[in-house]
Structure 1
Amino acid sequence: MIIGLVTAVAASACYGTGSVLQAVGSRRSAREEAAAAAAAGTTAASDAPVMTTEHGGPSLTSTAKAVVTWEFILGTALDLIGFLLGALAARLLPLFLSQTVISANLVITALLSIKLLGMRLKRPEWASIAVVCAALVMLAVAAGPEGTGTTPISTHWWLLLVSVAVIAGGSLLVRRLGTSGAIVAGLVSGLGFGALGIGVRVLNGVDPFDMGQLLSDPALYAILVGGLGGMYLHTVALQTGSVNAATAALVVGETVVPGVIGVLWLGDATRHGLSWLGVVGFVLAVAGAVAVAHFGQGEEALPPSGAREPELSTR
C-alpha cells in the first residue's frame, strides 16, 4: 500500500508539472501564430495562415506546432514518466484511490500556474483545492485491498470500442464548440486517461510476462487510444481555456468512471467499516475538482494583447 501511494504521488507530481509546461508551450505557440497571422493579413488576407477551425478553436496545425515547443516536449516527457508510475500504481492500489491520488496533480498545476503562467487564484479556488486534499486523505485512510483485475476478454473488447467512441466523438464535439470547448476537452481527455488506467489494470500478459498474450489483448490498444487521444484533447484544452479549469475537468473524467468500475467489476474495496469514509472522500474529491473548474473557467487562456508572457527561469 505504501509503495503504491508513493508511486501515485510521484505520478501526480509529474503530471501536474507537465501540464503547466505544456500550457506554457501551447500559449507561446498560439501567440506566435497569432502574430504571424496578423502580419500576413497586412499583405494579403487570402494568404493568411488559418490556425483556427470555423468555430474558433485551434486547428490541427496549431496543435501540432504547440507540440514541438521545448516546454511542451519537456512536459510530455514528464507525462510519460507519470504514465509509467501511474500504471504501476494502478496495479498496486484500488482504482478509486490510485486515480484520485494521481488526479491531485490539480493542486500542483494550480500552484505552478501562479509562477509560470502569472495566474492569480481566487479564494474559492483555494478552498476547493483544500477540499480535494482533505478528500485524498480520507480515501487513503479508507482504502482496502485492490481487486484481482481478472476480466473476460469480451470486456477488453468493450473497453477498446468505448475508448475509440469517446475519443472520436469527443474530438468532433470539441471542434464544434471551438473556443468554448476547453472544459469538454478536459473532461473527454480525462475519460481517455481513465480508460488507460482501466486498461492497465486488466491487461493480460504482464504478470507473468507473455508478449504474444500482451499484443493480442484489446486492452493494450485501448490504452494507446485513451492515452494518445487524451493527450491530444488535453493539449486542445490548454490552448483554449484556463489550465486549472481544464485540468479540473480532466480530474473528474479520470477519477469517477475508473473508480466506479474498479468497485463494481474489479473487486476494489474499502477497509471494513470505512465504506462511508471512502464514499465521502470520493464525492468530495470530485466536487472539489468540479468547483475548481467552475471558478477557474473565467480565466483567460491568453493574456491581454501587449501583456508580457511569463517566462521560465533558466537559472
Structure 2
Amino acid sequence: MILGLVTAVAASACYGTGSVLQAVGSRRSARAEAAAKGSGTGVTEHGGPSLSSTAKAVVTWEFILGTVLDFIGFGLGALAARLLPLFLSQTIISANLVITAVLSIKLLGLRLKNLEWASIGVLCGALVLLATAAGPEGGHHVEMAVHWWLLGVSVVLIAGGSLIVRRLGSSGAIVAGLLSGLGFGALGIGVRILNGIEPFGLGELASDPALYAILVGGIGGMYLHTVALQVGSVNGATAALVVGETVVPGAVGVLWLGDSSRAGLGWLAAFGFLLAVVSAVGVAYFGQEEAEVHGAQPKTPEPVHR
C-alpha cells in the first residue's frame, strides 16, 4: 500500500509538471496559428487547431520535456494501478491538477480565482478521505471478452472524440479534456487487467487486446489533451481530464475487479470519491474564463501573457 501511494504521488507530480510544460508549447503554437488565421491556414473551419498546428505544438522543446515527464508518470502510474484500488490510484494521479494549477501561476502567468483555490483545497481533502478508506486492491484477471471490449471502446472513444472536438473548434476544450481523461482511464484499466505481467510472458502480453487499448488510450488521450491545452483553460481542461480519468476506472475497479474499502468505511470512500469529482468539476467551471482572459488562443498574434 505504501509503495503504491508513493508511486501514485510521484506519477501525479510528473503528470502535473508535464501538463504545464505542454501547455507552454501548445500555446506558443496557438499564437503562431492565430497569426496564420489571416492567410486561412493552421485552423479548421470551426475555429479549432488543425492537425498540422497540433503537430507543430508537439515538437516544441517544452512539449517534448513535458512528454518525457508523462512517460515517466505513465510508468509510475502503471505500477500504482497494480498496487492500489483503481478508485484510489487514479484519483491520486489525477491530483496533478493541484500541481498544474500552482505551476501555471508561475509559467503561464495565470491568476486563480478564490473559488478555484477552494475547489483545489476540497480535492486535496477528498484524497485524504480516499486514502483513509481504501482497502486492498482486487484481482487482475477478467474474461478475455472484457479485454476486447476495452479495445473497441477505446478506438471508438478516441476516433469519434477527435472528430467531435474538431467540429466544436475553439469551444471544445472541456470536451477534449474529458475525452482525453476517458482515454487515460482506459489506459489505467488496461494496465490493471493486462495479461503476461505476473508471470511475465512476451507472447501472452503481445496477444492481449488490453495492450493495444493501452496504446490507443494513451496516444489518443495525449492528442486530445494537447488540443484542449491549445484552445482553452489549462486548469479547466486538466480538471475535465480528472473527471474522465477517475469516474469510469473507479467504477470498473469496484464493480468488476473486486476493489473495496476498509470494513465499515465504504461510505467514506464513496463520499471522498464524489467530493473529488465535484471539486474537479468546480475547477473546470470556475476556470472557464481563463482562456478568454489570458488568451489560450488569442485573436491577434500578441503574447498570451499579460
- Which of the residues 261, 273, 289 maps onto 1:282? 273
Deviation at 1:49, TM superposition (A): 5.4
Tell me the distance in 2 between the aligned counterparts of 1:174 and 1:302.
15
Residue 252 (structure 2) aligns with: 261
Residue 206 (structure 1) aligns with: 197
Deviation at 1:297, TM superposition (A): 1.1
Tell me the distance in 1 between the aligned counterparts of 2:211 and 2:184.
13
Deviation at 1:287, TM superposition (A): 0.2
Residue 236 (structure 1) aligns with: 227
Tell me the distance in 2 between the aligned counterparts of 1:224 and 1:79.
14
Is 2:31–2:301's contact at 8 Å kept on the other side of the alignment? no
AA aligned opposite 1:26? S
Deviation at 1:34, TM superposition (A): 2.8
Tell me the distance in 2 between the aligned counterparts of 1:307 and 1:168.
33
TM-score when normalising by structure 1: 0.93
Q: How does 1:94-105 map to 2 (within 5 A)?
A: 94-105=85-96
Identity among equivalent pairs (%): 76
Deviation at 1:32, TM superposition (A): 2.4
Unaligned runs of 5+ in 2: none
Is 1:200–1:223's contact at 8 Å kept on the other side of the alignment? yes
Residues 115 and 253 of structure 1, relative CA distance in 2, 3 Å threshold: same
2:18 is the counterpart of 1:27: no
Can you list the C-alpha shifts for 1:217-267, whole angstroms capped at 9, x where unaligned?
000000000000000000000000000000000000000000000000000
- Which of the residues 198, 205, 212 maps onto 1:221? 212
Residue 136 (structure 2) aligns with: 145
Tell me the distance in 2 between the aligned counterparts of 1:94 and 1:279.
13
Deviation at 1:33, TM superposition (A): 3.3
AA aligned opposite 1:263? V
Residue 52 (structure 2) aligns with: 61
3-state SS in 2 of match to 1:204: coil
Tell me the distance in 2 between the aligned counterparts of 1:260 and 1:237.
25
Residue 73 (structure 1) aligns with: 64
2:150 is the counterpart of 1:159: yes
Residues 63 and 308 of structure 1, relative CA distance in 2, 3 Å threshold: closer
Tell me the distance in 2 between the aligned counterparts of 1:171 and 1:49.
21
Q: CA RMSD in A?
A: 1.4
Deviation at 1:310, TM superposition (A): 5.5
AA aligned opposite 1:288? S
Residue 44 (structure 1) aligns with: none
Unaligned runs of 5+ in 1: 42-47
AA aligned opposite 2:279? G
AA aligned opposite 1:5? L
Residue 45 (structure 1) aligns with: none
Can you list the C-alpha shifts for 1:151-175, whole angstroms capped at 9, x where unaligned?
0111100000011111111111101
AA aligned opposite 2:9? V
3-state SS in 1 of match to 2:48: coil
- Which of the residues 103, 107, 111 maps onto 1:120? 111
Is 2:31–2:303's contact at 8 Å kept on the other side of the alignment? no
Residue 86 (structure 1) aligns with: 77
Can you list the C-alpha shifts for 1:266-291, whole angstroms capped at 9, x where unaligned?
00000001001000100000000000
Deviation at 1:139, TM superposition (A): 0.2
Tell me the distance in 2 between the aligned counterparts of 1:308 and 1:250.
26
Tell me the distance in 2 between the aligned counterparts of 1:310 and 1:59.
23
Bigger Rg over Cα: 1
Is 2:157–2:183's contact at 8 Å kept on the other side of the alignment? yes
